[in-house]
Amino acid sequence: MEPQDRPRFVTAGALMLLTAGLATYAGATVAGMGLHRSTLGALPFGLFYATVIFFLDRSVLLSTRPYRYGSDGTVRVGRAGPATAMRIFIAVCAALLVGETLLLRIFAPSIAPRVTQIRQEDLGRVLRGWDANQLGEQRVLRDDLAAGQRALDSAHALVTGKTAEVNCQLTGGDGCLSGEGPVYRIKLGELGAATAAVTTATRQRDAAQARLDAFDRSRDTRRAHFRDQQAATVDAADDLLIREKAFWRLTVADRSVLLWRTVLTLLLLGIDLGPLMFKRTLEQTALRRRERLVQWRGETTDEVDAQQIGQTARRRGELAQTLAEGAADRYGQYVQRRDEIGTSLRVAADLADVAVDREQIRIDRDSRIRDLRIRYRVPDPAPAPDPADRAAPS
């Protein structure tokens, strides 16, 4: 490392430690608010998050951007890799989350009334649902009471009519027979049944009225008990979500809060991306240039070796194909010569066999002629003169 480059690397290390410290506080604060713990109790979460951020920054700072061929064929410094893109994504998410956490602590006094308002709205919504349900039950009870009252009025009207018929049968009148005869006793039985129906309808009406009265008397008590239960449930919902909802209402109501949120988020994002932005200055150091040159030389050497190996493999493939074709031709010629020699041998053998057969035929023929001459005493023919003897006197 060159002496003039040492301060740059020291600054990069300091930025990494600063980012790790901010990540420790951010992770502990977010985990504490989410898990309802103190910041000190959630410190292990912050240390784990800071360790992840530290080693990501370290991997990004230690990685050297290699040389790459440009679109015009020139050699240029390549772009950032996947590790840098992932680190930027984590930085943006962390800046948003940490900024929200810090702002929730800063604006906690202003957020508290909004949280109370949200809880009251939730409680009022639940109570309105409960009241609607109770009104439905009360309507059913009133309908039962009205039906019982109508049944009682009908029973009273029936008793009145049956009483008039009994009196008509007892005293006599139009269409009535006077005296306590069979008709009178029938009408008197119907009057008794109507009176019993009145008693039953009265009991049912009174029971419906009692249920309605008991429902009305206990409704306030039950509503208060239900309200206490729901209030305890709503008050227990003191998590990060309800605070964020309250903070959003405060932001919508007051534009200055939105300005603070934006400025603080950008500030934290800039701090978190400090090591990545400072990495561009490290790329200009002599150490990184040497590393980039060595990496480029190694890549080009590997590429040349790969091309040579590929060329050798292709040449070997071509030679192997040529040798295979030559071997196939030579083998074809060998097969052809072998077939020709085999044919010649078979022809010679056949000709020899023919000559032997001819000689046997000649010998057999001469033997028969000699036997015939001996048998019939025919002299042998004079031998033919030798052409040499005939040519000697001249």
In contact, 94 and 272? CB cutoff 8 Å:
yes
Q: Is the pLDDT of residue 380 over 50?
A: yes
Distance CA 35, CA 240 (A): 9
Q: Is the pLDDT of residue 394 over 50?
A: no
Instruction: Answer yes or no: pTM beyond 0.95.
Output: no
For residue 118, give the 3-state DSSP assignment.
Answer: helix
Q: What pLDDT sits at residue 17?
A: 79
Tell me the CA end-to-end span of the chain in Å, nearest whole number.
125
Please, is 11 exposed, middle or buried when counting C-beta atoms within 10 Å of its C-beta (0-12, 13-18, 19+)?
A: middle
- Of 34, 59, 60, the closest CA to residue 46 belongs to 34
Distance CA 285, CA 283 (A): 6
Distance CA 281, CA 187 (A): 117
Name the residue with tokens 């810090």: 102
Q: What's the one-letter identity of residue 69? A: Y
Distance CA 191, CA 203 (A): 18
Q: What pLDDT sits at residue 290?
A: 65
Q: What pLDDT sits at residue 286?
A: 59
Q: What is the DSSP string of 310-371?
A: HHHHHHHHHHHHHHHHHHHHHHHHHHHHHHHHHHHHHHHHHHHHHHHHHHHHHHHHHHHHHH
Distance CA 370, CA 177 (A): 180
Distance CA 247, CA 230 (A): 23
Q: How confident is the model at residue 338 (pLDDT cuts 50, 70, 90)?
A: confident
77 beta partners: 67
Tens digit of each residue's pLDDT (9 = 90 or more) over 232-280 = 777 766 666 777 788 788 888 878 888 887 887 787 777 777 776 766 6
Neighbours of 74 (CB within 10 A): 8
Q: What is the mean pLDDT of residues 116-141?
A: 84
Q: What is the DSSP string of 154-166?
A: HHHHHHHHHHHHH
Burial 335-344 (b: 16+ CB within 10 A, else e): eeeeeeeeee
Tens digit of each residue's pLDDT (9 = 90 or more) over 33-88 = 767 677 777 788 888 877 877 777 676 666 665 556 566 656 555 565 666 677 67
All residues at 6 or more sequence positions from 76 whose CB lies less than 8 Å from its CB, including other chains: 67, 68, 69, 70
Tens digit of each residue's pLDDT (9 = 90 or more) over 339-377 = 888 888 888 888 888 888 888 888 888 888 877 777 777
Tens digit of each residue's pLDDT (9 = 90 or more) over 267-324 = 777 777 777 676 666 566 655 666 666 666 666 777 777 878 888 888 888 888 888 8
Helix pair 82-106, 108-171: axis angle to 10 deg: 70
Distance CA 340, CA 100 (A): 98
Could you tell me how many residues make up the chain? 394
Q: What's the one-letter identity of residue 325? A: E
